[in-house]
Structure 1
Amino acid sequence: MTVGAEEAELAARVREAFGQPVGDLKPLAGGHSGLTYQVTAGPNRYVVKAVPPRERPVGRNDMLRQARVLRALDGSAVPVPAVVAVDERVPAWFAMEFVAGEAIEPVLDDEHVPADVARMRMLELAGVLRRLHGVDPARLGPDVPEPLSAAGEVERWSRTMHAVPRELRPGAEELLRRLGENVPADLPPVLVHGDFRLGNVLCRGERAVAVLDWEIWSLGDPRTDLGWFLLFGDHRNFPGVGRETRGLPTEPELLAAYLDGAPELPAMDWFRALCRMKMAAIMGHNLRRHREGRRHDPDQERLPPTISALIRTARDILG
């Protein structure tokens, strides 16, 4: 079946599910998991996410898993798009409401956000993350994968780091050793997003209106989400690729906004270092893929200074 025929078949299935005339499927920019389209049905707009033809429905292509968490969060204190249709037939797809807004990462994206708006959005997101971690995991229903421990996080991302050429990860071995020697006790598992940051949250003005990109949600330690979120408040964490945005909240300010008067979380510095290591490993992996010709993206050549800085500052955090 040709690509055009496969898309036509998907469009027919969408029309069948909606039970009314729908417009053409239009590819939606910004979707990085599976196939992402915008479609109209009557006066309303929707987003359709589908498993690519001939792809296995795993990882970022597991649309039913994404629909599951969105449905679980519907009506909670975490803003998410409402799921309006799910089709489990192969290749699976689901449709959700179209939410208007902008998802801009101030320190990484080219689009400009006024400094005061960017600051208030980050503080707003700290509260959204706190509410996400307060969601009862029972909302997800049965058969949820076992949570990954802090030790499991180190093991997982160590494998990714070791696949990066040694010359791209100076100091990584010492960092991995120090992380492995001081693994903290786990906190009770919560629902974690896995890539929580402004670039994955639609905002209107200073308000968050929809948390997107749930491809890698899981149950885990809340500090893994929090440490990742804190990375994106300072352009100096991304030399060579970051852009200065004055007035963003400091890490202590974001932590205070997240805690909202609750006691401080133990071993937060260890998780801040872990998330820097994780980011360095991901960037090194992407750069390696580019250099091996597996995914042509010359922009990856800007990453070596950031990879080195993340490893170095992670070691500094650990003292």
Structure 2
Amino acid sequence: MTQIATSRDADPALAARVRRTLGAPDAGPLAVLEGGRSGLTYVISDRGTRRVVKAVPPGSKAVGRNDVLRQSYVLSALAGRDVPVPRVIARDAEEPAWFAMEFAEGAALEPVFEPLPVETSRRRMVTAAAVLGRLHAVPPADLGPRLREAGRKLPAPADPADELERWTRTMHAVPEELRPGSAELLAALAANVPPPVAPVLVHGDFRLGNLMFAGDAPTALVDWEIWGVGDPRVDLGWFGVFTDGELFPGVGRAVPGLPSEDDLDAAYRESRGCDGGTAGDIAWFRALGRMKMAAIMGHNLRRHREGRHHDPVQEQLPPTIAALIASGLELVT
């Protein structure tokens, strides 16, 4: 993530609250931090110590991606575990809500989208698979007490059918002409829904683009806006989508030498200490991951074309959407 240099507070009212809560009246400006994908993300420095601040956008409700305090609670609940997460320093439930956490050194780069040496990419992806194994080894029930302290409940587990239903709704919101072959893919997925396994804490968007590294050392797993409790194969299937740049024609790049999905699964199982019930039906979850990505990209392209979020880059997505759907269909037919 990259700080935007500024000498002024990006949000003066929020900055005043942050300084007061942190006990840092002379802290530097509250500056927008690029790379944050949930709510608003800022950085503030006090005597050389930087803190990241996540806040609900003014006028928005603290729900979904904007429920930043929900993200802070899972980070606090994971403190002391063998999972690299930033330490939460302060939180404020007054609207608009915000929380502050440690600034993690390093960068989160996705090899199929951003330049990164192949050997570095390979090492990081295998390391990330091991991090995912350790995350899934944390019993969800162990998080309950810290969530209850904050007046929150552990989410109800989502099984594979729940995941498919959720992302089917997203796909159906995309105009049919933007998602060729999606009806066949959705039908194939619906016809072969695997039975659930023991639920785990799922990140929801686990990939190198959300795991910061300093060299080969993972420093922080970030962007927890859609965490939940569910099937571990959901995270594995999603992570695997980013092993193949050919799934992203026009927007990504093929990177020969990256670990395969099977390689990542093996590193995951070794780290977790067992297969965690993930060995069976993995092709279905890989197809689900491709469908999810196609649905997200189709949704973003639709928003652009409707003028709801102007971003001409979205016009590059149709070949990738088609490639993801075709690959998913191949996996389940």
> Normalising TM by the smaller chain, what interval?
over 0.9
Deviations 1:136-174 (A, max 9, x none): 212322411212111111111111111111111111111
Contact kept? 1:6, 1:53, Cα under 8 Å? no
Q: Normalising to structure 1: TM-score of the pair?
A: 0.95
Q: How many Å separate the matches in 1 of 2:220 and 2:9?
A: 33
Q: Which residue of structure 1 lines up, in the alignment, with residue 117 of structure 2? A: 114
Q: Normalising to structure 2: TM-score of the pair?
A: 0.91
Tell me how far 1:6 sits from its aligned partner: 8.9
Q: Which residue of structure 2 lines up, in the alignment, with residue 131 of structure 1? A: 134
Over 3 Å counting, the alpha-carbon distance change for 1:54 and 1:252 in structure 2 is same
Q: How many Å separate the matches in 2 of 1:215 and 1:130?
A: 20
Over 3 Å counting, the alpha-carbon distance change for 1:23 and 1:256 in structure 2 is same
Give the residue type in structure 2 aligned to 1:216. I
Q: How many Å separate the matches in 2 of 1:308 and 1:43?
A: 48
Q: How many Å separate the matches in 1 of 2:137 and 2:219?
A: 18
Q: How many Å separate the matches in 1 of 2:274 and 2:71?
A: 31
Runs of 4+ in 1 over 6 A off after TM superposition: none
Tell me how far 1:79 sits from its aligned partner: 0.3
Is residue 269 of structure 1 aligned with residue 272 of structure 2? no
Q: Which residue of structure 1 lines up, in the alignment, with residue 298 of structure 2? A: 284
Which shows bigger deviation, 172-181 or 6-15?
Answer: 6-15
Give the residue type in structure 1 aligned to 2:220. A
Q: Which residue of structure 2 lines up, in the alignment, with residue 303 of structure 1? A: 317
Q: How many Å separate the matches in 2 of 1:146 and 1:227?
A: 21
Tell me how far 1:199 sits from its aligned partner: 0.6
Q: How many Å separate the matches in 2 of 1:42 and 1:82?
A: 19
Tell me how far 1:42 sits from its aligned partner: 2.5
Contact kept? 1:169, 1:284, Cα under 8 Å? yes
Q: Which residue of structure 1 lines up, in the alignment, with residue 170 of structure 2? A: 160
Instruction: Name the SS for the 2:220 alignment partner.
Output: strand
Give the residue type in structure 2 aligned to 1:73. L
Match of 2:16 among 12, 16, 20: 12
Contact kept? 1:101, 1:202, Cα under 8 Å? yes
Is residue 96 of structure 1 aligned with residue 101 of structure 2? yes
Contact kept? 2:10, 2:31, Cα under 8 Å? no
Match of 2:64 among 59, 64, 82: 59
Is residue 219 of structure 1 aligned with residue 235 of structure 2? no
Deviations 1:44-76 (A, max 9, x none): 111011111111011111111010011011111
Cα RMSD, aligned residues only: 1.5
Deviations 1:200-223 (A, max 9, x none): 111011121110000110001000
Deviations 1:220-248 (A, max 9, x none): 10000000001101101111211122321
Tell me how far 1:38 sits from its aligned partner: 0.7
Instruction: Name the SS for the 1:202 alignment partner.
Output: strand
Give the residue type in structure 2 aligned to 1:256. A
Give the residue type in structure 2 aligned to 1:168. L
Give the residue type in structure 2 aligned to 1:262. C
For structure 1, the 5+ residue unaligned runs are: none
Is residue 26 of structure 1 aligned with residue 46 of structure 2? no
